[in-house]
């Protein structure tokens, strides 16, 4: 069997280093918000070229805390509407709701699976105050267009980068402003805050739950450092109504060990994607459109096919494990029964047709050979 994702193989090379870190954290006797978290936050902020990184419990909390941070600052109010792609992973939508805001679903482009900027304007009402851009499957959303619409309508932009660690925009990393929608000195506009997840299967994953927020907004960062820790900066003195969502010392130390390999891992993902894109030749399969730039880090390699169940069954019989991201759109989930009758044809088609092929930095050339050969004879 060629596994969809072999996490054991991904983490094996770090075994000795992980054990040394465990010993050092044990010897230190300090497990929450200590020097490991601080060191990783500095390293990840430097990697993202941002001023601040706030380590939190997971990617969902990173999103929730960004919105709660803006509410605490008075930039957003409970009940404000947030534009979000209809085909995103449900966490993006749940985070908006958890923060007391209202998600407004907008269709993606069928070709890129990312938010269609042309469809945002018609969904904007006087209550719309933010756009949550999601870089789905590892490909950057069309941020220039999104930021321009946001600027014209005075909206905040927040990014869900849970699947896109290390994605570059034209070889420039995603950069972000000092306050909402401030113009960067290259004349480009950037978002206010970006949420990351370090769930084990992400491009940068720890051995449990973990997440982070990066931003250049010093006021937001100050509130977030406090909100993640019960709204308190000084122990037992609470300034804000906060939560408990902290990256722990052990996970931070593991992430710090893995961070230097992220770019090389993403390069490996891209070279596998390049082989898939150029060597898979089958009229029944729609491959992702990708211009070979670094704006895609292939968290997932997602194809489309009219009879998805048949292809998945065929691949399973040929020892290739695949996964569907995702089988049911958010608006068709039982949890959102009030949305079940809404119609998002592009989103529904995507959820019916997509299939994710094995993709990871530890996939071997002969496994890729096999996957391509099996797909070409389907």
Ligand X SMILES: *Cc1c(COP(=O)(O)O)cnc(C)c1O
Contact set with ligand X (CB under 6 A): 58-60, 88-89, 91-92, 134, 160, 162-163, 197, 199, 209, 211
DSSP 3-state of 68: helix
Question: Which residue's CB is nearer to ligand X, number 199 or number 336?
Answer: 199
Question: Which residue's CB is nearer to ligand X, number 135 or number 189?
Answer: 135
Which residue reads 């938010």 in tokens?
115
Q: How far apart are CA 6 and CA 337, in angstroms?
A: 35
Question: Which residue's CB is nearer to ligand X, number 153 or number 333?
Answer: 333
CB of 248 to ligand X, least distance (A): 14
Q: How far apart are CA 312 and CA 374, in angstroms?
A: 12
CB of 143 to ligand X, least distance (A): 16
CB of 374 to ligand X, least distance (A): 27
CB of 356 to ligand X, least distance (A): 12
DSSP output for 19-31 = HHHHHHHHHHT--
Distant-in-sequence, close-in-space partners of 337: CB < 8 Å, separation ≥ 6 = none
Q: How far apart are CA 38 and CA 160, in angstroms?
A: 22
Per-residue tokens: 256: 């710090």
CB of 134 to ligand X, least distance (A): 5
Question: Which residue's CB is nearer to ligand X, number 80 or number 160?
Answer: 160
Question: Which residue's CB is nearer to ligand X, number 55 or number 280?
Answer: 55
Q: Where are the alpha helices (DSSP H) in 142-235?
A: 143-152, 218-227
Question: Which residue's CB is nearer to ligand X, number 58 or number 215?
Answer: 58
CB of 279 to ligand X, least distance (A): 27
CB of 91 to ligand X, least distance (A): 3
Question: Which residue's CB is nearer to ligand X, number 256 or number 299?
Answer: 299
Q: Where are the alpha helices (DSSP H) in 248-307?
A: 249-258, 262-279
CB of 265 to ligand X, least distance (A): 17
User: Residue of minimal CB distance from ligand X?
Assistant: 59
Q: Which of 200, 226, 241 is nearest to 59 (CA)?
A: 200
Q: Is the peptide bond before 15 cis (omega within 30 degrees of 0)?
A: no
Question: Which residue's CB is nearer to ligand X, number 162 or number 375?
Answer: 162
CB of 15 to ligand X, least distance (A): 23
Question: Which residue's CB is nearer to ligand X, number 160 or number 353?
Answer: 160
In b/e form, how buried is each residue of 145-156, taking b as 16+ CB within 10 angstroms? Answer: ebbebbeeeebb
Torsion of CA 348, 350, 353, 359, to 10 degrees: -140
Q: How far apart are CA 190 and CA 159, in angstroms?
A: 10
Looking from the CA of 276 toward its CB, the CA atoms found within 13 Å total 28
Q: How far apart are CA 239 and CA 226, in angstroms?
A: 8
């Amino acid at each position: 069997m060629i596994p969809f994702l072999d996490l054991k193989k991904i983490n094996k090379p770090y075994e000795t280093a992980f054990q040394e870190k465990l010993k050092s954290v044990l010897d230190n006797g300090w497990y929450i918000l200590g020097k490991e978290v601080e060191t990783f936050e500095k390293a990840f902020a430097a990697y993202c070229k941002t001023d601040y990184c706030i380590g939190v419990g997971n990617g969902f909390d990173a999103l929730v805390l960004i919105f709660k941070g803006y509410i605490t600052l008075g930039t957003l109010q409970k009940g404000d509407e947030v534009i979000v792609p209809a085909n995103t992973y449900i966490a993006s939508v749940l985070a908006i709701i958890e923060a007391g805001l209202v998600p407004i679903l907008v269709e993606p482009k069928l070709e890129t699976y990312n938010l269609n900027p042309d469809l945002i304007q018609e969904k904007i009402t006087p209550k719309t105050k933010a756009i949550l851009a999601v870089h789905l499957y590892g490909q950057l959303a069309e941020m220039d267009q999104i930021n321009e619409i946001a600027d014209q309508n005075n909206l905040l932009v927040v990014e869900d980068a849970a699947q896109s660690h290390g994605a570059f925009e034209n070889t420039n990393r995603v950069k972000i402003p000092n306050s909402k929608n401030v113009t960067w000195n290259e004349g480009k506009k950037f978002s206010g805050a970006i949420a990351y997840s370090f769930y084990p299967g992400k491009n940068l994953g720890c051995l449990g739950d973990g997440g982070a927020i990066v931003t250049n907004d010093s006021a937001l960062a100050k509130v977030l450092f406090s909100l993640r820790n019960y709204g308190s900066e000084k122990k037992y003195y609470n300034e804000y109504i906060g939560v408990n969502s902290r990256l722990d010392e052990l996970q931070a130390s593991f992430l710090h060990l893995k961070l230097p390999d992220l770019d090389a891992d993403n390069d490996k993902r891209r070279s596998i994607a390049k082989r898939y894109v150029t060597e898979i030749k089958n009229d029944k399969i729609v491959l992702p459109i990708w211009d070979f730039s670094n704006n895609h880090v292939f968290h997932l390699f997602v194809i489309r096919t009219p009879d998805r169940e048949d292809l998945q069954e065929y691949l399973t019989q040929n020892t290739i494990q695949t996964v569907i991201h995702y089988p049911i759109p958010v608006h068709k989930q039982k949890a959102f029964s009030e949305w079940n009758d809404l119609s998002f044809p592009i989103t529904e088609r995507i959820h019916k047709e997509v299939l994710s092929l094995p993709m990871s930095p530890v996939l071997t050339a002969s496994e890729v050979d096999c996957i391509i050969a099996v797909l070409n004879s389907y």
